[in-house]
Chains A and B, each alone.
Chain A
Amino acid sequence: MGVRAYPVVLPVDGVQKLIDLLRGRGLPVVGPTPRDGVIVHAPITSLADLPTGTGDDQAPGRYRLRARGDGALFGYAVPASSWKHLFLPPREVLLGDGPATDPVPVALFGVRSCDLAALDLHDRALLRRPAVDVRYARRRQGTVVVAVTCTEPSAMCFCAGLRTGPEPSAGYDVRLTELTDGGHRFLAVPGTPLGEDLLAEAGWDPAAARDVEAAADAVRDAAGRMRRAPRLDGLREDLYGAADLPHWEQVGSRCLACAGCTLVCPTCFCTTVEDTSGVRGEDARRIRVWDSCFTAAFSYLHGGSVRESIASRYRQWITHKFATWTDQFGVLGCVGCGRCTTWCPAGIDLLAELAAVRGLSAPPGDRRVTDGTETG
């Protein structure tokens, strides 16, 4: 094909070819697919598995799919599930008989910028450490990423404010930007030699100036629609200084400590270890499962939990994301996907709580909070 100036354009069937090519290389492809009224990340084999023509409405404690009336493949914001279950499964056997896990590399199809950033955060927390999580490392090996530029942020999204999106800037093999006006097509950029090969085999067309401009417009437009963001300066110091604020009790009285936010969070990585056996001690196993700092057992020592109150658990969670994570791993522990707020059954808005404990009335630019009106 000769030397190529990227980006290039892929037609819709070129995207199907990408899936075929990945599968042809022996890679199971995992991508967005509708299930039980939500979009999840699950094995896919063709474009027919994607949530074509589906959009989503998100608000604190609210998530609804809706028909878009077009054929967009990626016309929704973040799916309900992140990708973390692929590399850090909710439950796995550490010792004793269990399903033999001999992981194969996996291809992630349709990764949003926020989730790509989250993948990097997990690599920092579990891989680039003095002691490596060998199970995570094994599953993470050889991951192929087809990323998508997010052009349909939800009302809960704030990646633009955290500079983790909406356009993936690194960590992908191929990046696609979906264009629907003037013909359904994808602007594509490779991020690795593998990505170049995949695009070449999928069969691209040269990109016209209007394609490039349309993609740039879509990114700018998406970023502009995200009206929410935490103020970044002084974040860590503000949270450390806020440890004794009465507001924690206030949010603690609304929080159900259900741990849902930590399950949907793409960066939460805490796990616990449970031993099981039959009543006579037979079939003993040691199992690692996702854990959450919202449970009382999380901080249990003999005699009681360190964090008895829900207020202290909420403080722990938000302080970890926006302050201690920086000390531990050099970056913020939040990528702005908004899932914790969307999926909170009490509708607790992360950014509103963050603003409240910092003595700010609301996240800058968030009219929904400042004028007291409700969305959704």
Chain B
Amino acid sequence: MTTQEVPAPSAADPSTDPMRPRPFRLLAHRFDTDDTVTVRLEPVDGVPLAFEAGQYTMIGMLGAGEVPISISGDPAVPDLLQHTIRDVGGVTHALVRARPGDLVGVRGPYGRGWSVMDGAGGDVVLVAGGIGLAPLRPALLEILAHRHRFGRVVVLYGARTPADILYADTLDSWRSDGVDVAEIVDYGPPGYRGRVGRVTTLVPRAGFDPANTLALVCGPEIMMRYAAAALADRGVPPGRIRLSLERNMKCGIGLCGHCQLRELFICTDGPVLPWSRVEALLRVKEV
């Protein structure tokens, strides 16, 4: 990472202020689970928000705040912005409570995405934990748009309970599109007949050719560490295992300092980073 020499910026122009959000109107609002909502948004100015699968926006409402949230929509449909938001804090609560017609502020898209097409010509494995399925959804949609260019496509998805499973209908439609989808839950209610256990336990027996696989992993950090290790154990090259990391972010553009993981600014160097780059860093406590 070298600093680039850029000319001193010219005089102030509010339209180029990267901290100024663009207004988006909330079109639709769907509860995926008790605490998770997928919102559909359209830009008030009509300018589509083109993005790469795996990128995020800084989304929020003035007075409540802003948070980084990965885009969960289809990169081929940039005029419709979709986010899947779990109600875990002040800002996400305000977003989950927003109703059709409400205005929401959006900055971005920011960060480095999955670069899914790097996996063309081989197999792809997506390992998701909880809300981690949301940032992987655009990657899967991109793969499905070019399905013939990929070999086996595997989704390993772990949720806390059956009631926490996101996009349940969509998972079935992915199956019919030739995706091998396996769900597993941490806790099943009495009589639950599905798989119970950690998502990482699905890695050893999943059907893919490790040496010729691109793996995309998103979930809680500890789950990603174990999933990446399991994938590496199976023989997926560490440089072909990609994780979407999460850190506190206030600007999204590398200026506020919050998201540092040692020398990395997760907001601009990530959020998607190869296991080969971050394995040693993630093994250090509280880094």
Contacts and interface: CB of A to CB of B under 8 A. Distances in A.
A216 interface: no
Given A273-B251, A273-B256, A328-B263, A129 B62 contact: no
A94 B19 contact: yes
Interface string A315-345: 0100110011001111000000000000000
Contacts of A272: 250, 256, 258
A159 B66 CA distance: 40
**How many A residues are at the interface, by size bracket?**
35 or more
Contact of A134 (B18, B64, B247, B284): B18
B8 A141 contact: yes
B287 A312 contact: yes
A306 B17 contact: no
A284 B255 CA distance: 23
Interface string B59-100: 010111110000000000000000000001100100000000
B248 interface: yes
Given A126-B255, A324-B260, A300 B248 contact: yes
Nearest to B6: A128
Chain A contact residues: helix, strand, loop or mixed: mixed
B169 interface: no
B89 A302 contact: yes
A131 B8 contact: no
B268 interface: yes
Contacts of B251: 271, 273
A177 to B, nearest CB: 29
A243 interface: yes
Nearest to A327: B263
Given A128-B3, A275-B62, A312-B286, A306 B247 contact: yes
Given A291-B250, A312-B287, A330-B3, 10 more contacts: A128-B3, A129-B4, A134-B19, A243-B287, A269-B255, A272-B258, A273-B66, A276-B63, A306-B286, A308-B286
Interchain residue pairs A-B with the least CB separation, the first 3? A284-B63, A270-B257, A312-B286
Interface of B: 1-6, 8-9, 11-13, 16-21, 60, 62-66, 88-89, 92, 246-248, 250-251, 253-258, 260, 262-263, 265, 268, 284-287
6 contacts: A95-B19, A134-B13, A134-B16, A273-B66, A312-B287, A328-B1
